[in-house]
Amino acid sequence: MALTVDQAVPGPDDRPATAAAPPVPGRTGRSGRGRRLLETALLVVLAVVMLFPVLWMLETSIKENRDVYAVPAQFIGFDVTLDHYRDVFVARGGEGRSDLSTAFVNSVVVAGLSTLLATLLGVPAAWAYSRFGLRAKKDQLFFILSTRFMPPVVVVIPIFLMYRELGLIDTELGLILIYAAFNVPFTIWMMKGFVDEVPAEYEDAAMLDGYTRLQAFWKVTLPLLVPGIAATAVFALIFSWNEFVFAIFLTSSQEVRTAPPAIAGLIGGTTVDWGLVAASAVVFAAPVLLFAWLVRKHLVAGVTLGAVRR
């Protein structure tokens, strides 16, 4: 099946290829226009419903506390404040960094390094799987994918015990390793798709020119894979950034904890500062939305582990 993601998710400047398609003859007239109107209205309603929670969170994050808890809810005409955003970064009382900002830094470190590790291990493996006929290749690839499908809450039990033995509990290294292991299957599957698209003949030609296989990979194929690697890495980054289960069971201290458990920790007490929750959620989500926009052309491949491409 011919399936290009670019068609499904066009960029801002792309004109849909079907825009100039002639109207279907025969079935026009008033019923057609009414139908069109109905479809548009339905789409608008659905879009509003889907986007409302996000807008509501944004709005809550800039409201004074009394407006946050107002009954009935205040949609317009509230005083705008950036206090909640200040509280995300600055400790209460005005001095020093907040725990949340430490958690954000940890998230950057853990997500960044685990993505780097997954890319370094996954890309060469994907190339090897794409280029060579290996024994039981399909079984190997299925095995790799199946590790990704494990329920995290199940895997976390033995990982927890293992980390306790190794002293990796409550360390950033522990999280980096498990996230890398979590992302390697994805990286291999998605990158294999990208490598498959680079003709093997390029490498053969390079080898006829006297390059070794390794040089051919390094000098010819790898440069062509850079956009694919970037897209894959961004997805791995998003997964690690958003991950919660391992983060909450394998870390406990403020200094090591990543942002998802830290944000979840805000609702522990009897009263919840929803303004702060909203602001930190917005701050936390912003990079992900930016990243997702960067890889929008690869979204279908990315969300299906690269398994569905074209």
**The amino acid at 222:** L
- Answer positive or negative: Cα dihedral of 86, 89, 95, 98: positive
Does residue number 235 form part of the binding site for another protein (CB under 8 A)? Answer: no
Q: Which of 100, 85, 106 is nearest to 282 (CA)?
A: 85
- The C-alpha atoms of residue 131 and residue 194 are separated, in whole angstroms, by 12
**The amino acid at 142:** F
Using the rule CB under 8 A, which residue among 60, 61, 98, 115 binds another protein? 60
Does residue number 260 form part of the binding site for another protein (CB under 8 A)? Answer: yes
DSSP 77: S
Does residue number 21 form part of the binding site for another protein (CB under 8 A)? Answer: yes
CB 152 within 8 A of CB 178: no
| C-beta closer to another protein: residue 109 or 121 | 121
Does residue number 308 form part of the binding site for another protein (CB under 8 A)? Answer: yes
* Strand, helix or coil for residue 204: helix
First-to-last C-alpha distance (Å) of the chain: 7
Does residue number 116 form part of the binding site for another protein (CB under 8 A)? Answer: no
Does residue number 171 form part of the binding site for another protein (CB under 8 A)? Answer: no
Does residue number 233 form part of the binding site for another protein (CB under 8 A)? Answer: no
| C-beta closer to another protein: residue 73 or 82 | 73
Does residue number 285 form part of the binding site for another protein (CB under 8 A)? Answer: yes
Given the rule CB under 8 A, which of 1-9, 82-90, 96-104, 224-232 is the region that contacts another protein? 1-9
Residues 118-157 that bind another protein (CB under 8 A): 121-122, 124-125, 127-129, 131-132, 134, 140, 142, 144-147, 149-155, 157
Does residue number 57 form part of the binding site for another protein (CB under 8 A)? Answer: yes
Given the rule CB under 8 A, which of 77-85, 177-185, 194-202, 218-226 is the region that contacts another protein? 177-185
| C-beta closer to another protein: residue 11 or 93 | 11
User: How many other CB atoms are there within 10 angstroms of residue 34's CB atom?
Assistant: 10
**Two tokens at 125?**
């493996």
- The C-alpha atoms of residue 185 and residue 126 are separated, in whole angstroms, by 10
